[in-house]
Structure 1
Amino acid sequence: MVSSIISAPFVPLLYIRREFRQDRDWSYRQALTGALMKACLSVYVALRLKPKSSLSLKPCWEGDLFVTIEPAPTDLYTGITVHDKIHPETIAGTWFPSLYQYNTTTNQDKHVILHFHGGSYIIGDGRTSSSKHLANSLLENTPTSHIFSLQYRLARNRATRFPAQLQDAIAAYSYLIHTLHFPTNRIVISGDSAGGHLALSLLRYIADYDDETVLPPPTCCWLFSPWCDVPGALKQRLWDNIPNTQTDYIPASFAAWGAKQIIGNIELSRENEGYLAPIWHPFVLPSPILIVSGGREVMCQEHDRLARYLGKLQQNEERVKFFVHEMLPHDILMVAWLMGFQKEADQCASKAGNFLSQVLGASDDSEVPCVAFERQ
C-alpha cells in the first residue's frame, strides 16, 4: 500500500502514454480510474474500516422504491442456515425502476430480477447511489420489467457473518414468491462479485431444500464476475501471483479482508465449504446459469474453472454458459459508469438478456448443450 501512495501523484502523468497503462487498449480515463479505485480499496483495508454497526432501514432518497422485508417462515430455514447465534432479521431492498406490488401488471414476457450487489460482503447496500447504473443497464438490455436489489446484512460482527447473508437471500426470494406471488418461472436470480457468490449460494440452497413446491427454482441465474472461492482469498500471496492482478482494480488485501469478515472463526467443513467455495464443490443446478467474466480480471481463470466443473455435472436439460469480454476488469456492470466502460457493460447485459431468451425458447428442447463458452 505504501508504494501505491508514493506513486499516486505520478500515475496521471504516467498513463498519458499507452504502454504504461494496465492495458494498452484502455482509455486514459479507464486506466486512471482503475488505478485510483485500487488505491482507495487498499487504503480502506489498511485503515481496517468496518461496515457500519447496522444498515439503515429508512427509505432516504429511495422513497417508496425502498421496502422492508420480514424474515421468511421458519420452515424455510434449515440445514446450513440454522445457527445458534445468527438469526434471520428484518432487512430491506430497493425496487428499480418503480415499486412492484401484488396488483402491479406486467407483460407476460417480462421478468423480475432478484439482484445481490457486490462489495466483498463488507461494503454496499444495493440502493440507487451505487446500483442504479447496473439496474438501468439490465432493464434496458434484458426482457425484465423490475429489479429488486437486496440490502443484505454486511459481515460486521459475529452476528452478521455467514450464513446471515444466505438467510437474507432466502427471505428476499420468499418475499417475491410468497408475498408478491410472483411466479418463479418469471424470476431471475442475479448477482455481481460477492453478490454473484450469494446468488450461487441461494441456488445451491434451493437445490438442497426438500420441498420444491415451497421453494421452487427460478427461470435462470446470472453471475457477473462471481466470487467463487471465499476461503481461497485469505491466501494473499497466491492472489498477487495471478497475472491479471496488474490489470484488475481489486487488491488482494480487499478480498482477504472481506473473506476474513464473512468467515470469522467459522470452522470450515464440507457442508459450509460447498457454500463458501462453490468452485471446489460443484452441484446439480436447479436452473440454468450464465457466468460473465472480464478477460482482465483477477478471477477470470476461476470463472472458467467454475463453468467447466459445474457443466460436467449437468444433465441435458440443464445449461451452463460462460461469456468472457476480453478487455474488461472485475464486475464491470457495477463500475462501468466510473471507468467509462458503459458500452461494454451493456454488451454484457445483452448477453444476459439473450441467455434468458434462449432458456425460455429451449425449455422444451432436451438437446440443450450442457456447457457453452464464448469470448469477445
Structure 2
Amino acid sequence: MAFTYRHQPVKSLYLVVGGLWLVLRIPYWIIRNLLPSWRPRRNWSLLRSFAVVFMDEAVALLLETSLPGPDSPDKLAKTPGFVSIEPVPDKLIVGDIRRFAEMNGVKTERLSGFWYGPKGADSSLGQAAQPGEKIFYLLHGGGFVMGSASPSFGPTALTAEGLLQHCTNVSKLFAVEYRLASGPPHPIVNPFPACFLDVLAGYHYLVNQLGFSPENIIVTGDSCGGVLAYQLGRYCTSPGDSQASAPFPLPGGLLLLSPSADSALRPVPGSSMITNKRSDYTNSWFKARYSVLSLLGNALSESELDRPWLSPGSTMFSDEDKGIKGVFTRFPRTMIIAGEAEMGRDSMRLLRDRMEKEMGKEKVVYAEINDAPHDFLGGTLWEPERTIALKEIGRWIAKL
C-alpha cells in the first residue's frame, strides 16, 4: 500500500533518509548513463537520462509519504487569470454520471478556472466570444490527485504557452480547476465523478455563459486530463442522454496529449510497459495505482468504472465489449499526441485503432513523437520533441 510513512515523526525521518539515498545514488546514475549506448535512448543527453530516473525515484519517495496538496482557495484567487464559475446545473447531470454521483454522494460545487491569453479592452477576463472565435479548453494532468489549472503549476503553464504560441488561429485558453481526488489510506475525498462534474461546469460556462460555439472549442487534456477530455466527448454523444444534447453539444475537436488511456497498464511481456520502463518517469506511479483507487470512493468498483469511462485503450477487453463498442461513432475530430518512449504508448495506439475503426481514419490524427516520454509538452527538458509536437498540433488546428 502507498503512503506507509505518512504520519509524523516517521514521515520526516523517512524523507530525510530517502532524500539522502537519492543524493548518494546520483554518481551511480550518471555513470550508468555516461555513454550514449548505455542510455534509455541513444539520442538522449546525459541530463535527460539522469532526470528520468531521478524523477521516477523522487515520485516513489513521495508515494511512501505524501503528495503535494492543492493550493488554498485564497491563494488561487490571487493568481493571475483566476475566475470563479458556477456549478453545472443539476438537471444536466444524467445517465451513468448521475448514477455514479448518487452512489458516491458527490455534489456539484462552485469552482474556478484560469484564463491564458490576451485580456479584454478593459483588462477583464472571461470576455464573451467573438463570432468564429476558437478557444482551447484545457484539462490538466496529475493523475486525478495532483496538479492545477493555475499558471503557478509549471506543466499547465508551459502546455498553455506552447499551444497558444504555435496555434496562431487560437488566441485564448481556459483551464478548469477541477476537484482532486484522495483515497485510502488517506480520507476519501472527491471520488468520481467530482472531477468530471467540474469539467462539465467549465464547458457549460464557455458555451452557455460566454457564448462560444461548441464547434469552436478544442477540448484539450494531458495525461489524466486526456481521459477527462475523452469522457466529455463520450458524455456529449452517449445514447440515452438526450437531455444533455442541448447544453452539452459536441465540441469541435479533441486534443489528447499523452492520454492515460488504460487505468490498469499491466506489465505484459513485450509491451511498452516493459520495453519503455527505463525511458519514462512513470514506473513508480503506475505500480502504485493510487489514481484509479482514489476515484472509486466508497461505492464504485473498478470494473464498473473502467470500461465505459476510464480505459478506452485497455487490452483487458475487446473492441466488441459493450462498454466500448460504438462509443466513438459520433466523436468529433481527434488528435492524439503520444511519446514513443512512454510506458503507456501501447494503450494510446490501441485507442487510436478503436477510434479509427468507428470514426474513420480521416477524423483521427495520431502523432507519435520519437524518443519522447510521458506528457512531454509540459517541460522544457523534452526538446526538441516538444516543439515538434506543437508544430504538428498547429497544423492540425489550422485545418479544423
TM (norm. structure 1) is 0.84
Q: Corresponding residue for 2:151? A: 128
- Shift of residue 349, structure 1, vs aligned partner: 1.8
Q: Is the 8 A contact 1:223 1:290 kept in 2?
A: yes
- Shift of residue 271, structure 1, vs aligned partner: 6.5
- Shift of residue 270, structure 1, vs aligned partner: 5.2
Q: Corresponding residue for 2:96? A: 80
Q: Secondary structure at the match of 1:58?
A: helix
Q: Secondary structure at the match of 2:42?
A: coil
Q: 164, 174, 192: which one pairs with 1:148?
A: 174
CA distance 1:106–1:30, change in 2 (3 Å): farther
Percent identical pairs in the alignment equals 24
Q: Corresponding residue for 1:35? A: 53
Which stretch shows the higher mean deviation, 161-170 or 341-350? Answer: 341-350
- Shift of residue 64, structure 1, vs aligned partner: 4.6
Q: Secondary structure at the match of 2:250?
A: coil
**CA offsets per residue over residues 325-357 of structure 1, 9 Å max, x none?**
11101111112x2x2x24321221222222222
CA distance 1:72–1:105, change in 2 (3 Å): closer
Q: Is the 8 A contact 1:51 1:154 kept in 2?
A: no
Q: Corresponding residue for 1:312? A: 357
Q: Secondary structure at the match of 2:73?
A: coil
Q: Secondary structure at the match of 2:63?
A: helix
Letter in 2 for 1:346: T
- Residues of 2 paired with 1:236 and 1:315: CA distance? 30
CA distance 1:56–1:18, change in 2 (3 Å): same
Q: Corresponding residue for 2:83? A: 67
Q: Is the 8 A contact 1:236 1:252 kept in 2?
A: no
Q: Is the 8 A contact 2:41 2:279 kept in 1?
A: yes
Q: Is the 8 A contact 2:115 2:126 kept in 1?
A: no
Q: Corresponding residue for 2:311? A: 277
- Residues of 2 paired with 1:342 and 1:135: CA distance? 16
Q: Corresponding residue for 2:338? A: 293
Q: Is the 8 A contact 1:41 1:251 kept in 2?
A: no
Q: Which runs of 5+ in 2 are unaligned?
A: 3-17, 315-323
5 Å-filtered alignment, 1:1-376, equals 5=22, 7-47=25-65, 49-50=66-67, 52=69, 55-58=71-74, 60=76, 63-82=79-98, 83-84=101-102, 85-99=105-119, 101=125, 103=127, 108=132, 110-129=133-152, 130=154, 131-142=156-167, 143-157=169-183, 158-208=188-238, 209-210=241-242, 211-230=244-263, 232-233=264-265, 235=266, 242-254=274-286, 256-265=289-298, 266-269=300-303, 273-280=307-314, 281=324, 283=327, 284-314=329-359, 319-335=363-379, 337=380, 339=381, 341-358=382-399, 360=400
**CA offsets per residue over residues 132-157 of structure 1, 9 Å max, x none?**
11111000111211111121111125
Letter in 1 for 2:378: M
CA distance 1:326–1:90, change in 2 (3 Å): same
Q: Corresponding residue for 1:368? A: none
- Residues of 1 paired with 2:393 and 2:303: CA distance? 33
Q: Which runs of 5+ in 1 are unaligned?
A: 361-376
Which stretch shows the higher mean deviation, 194-203 or 70-79? Answer: 70-79
- Shift of residue 261, structure 1, vs aligned partner: 1.5
- Residues of 1 paired with 2:330 and 2:71: CA distance? 32
- Shift of residue 182, structure 1, vs aligned partner: 1.1
- Residues of 2 paired with 1:240 and 1:102: CA distance? 42
CA distance 1:315–1:14, change in 2 (3 Å): closer
Q: Is the 8 A contact 1:50 1:156 kept in 2?
A: no
- Residues of 2 paired with 1:105 and 1:267: CA distance? 41
Q: Is the 8 A contact 1:295 1:329 kept in 2?
A: yes
Which stretch shows the higher mean deviation, 35-44 or 246-255? Answer: 246-255
- Residues of 2 paired with 1:182 and 1:144: CA distance? 13
**CA offsets per residue over residues 170-202 of structure 1, 9 Å max, x none?**
000001001111111211000000110111111
- Residues of 2 paired with 1:291 and 1:315: CA distance? 14
State the superposition RMSD in angstroms. Answer: 2.7
Q: Corresponding residue for 1:374? A: none
Q: Corresponding residue for 2:321? A: none
Letter in 2 for 1:95: W
Kindly tell me the number of residue pairs found equivalent between the two proteins.
349
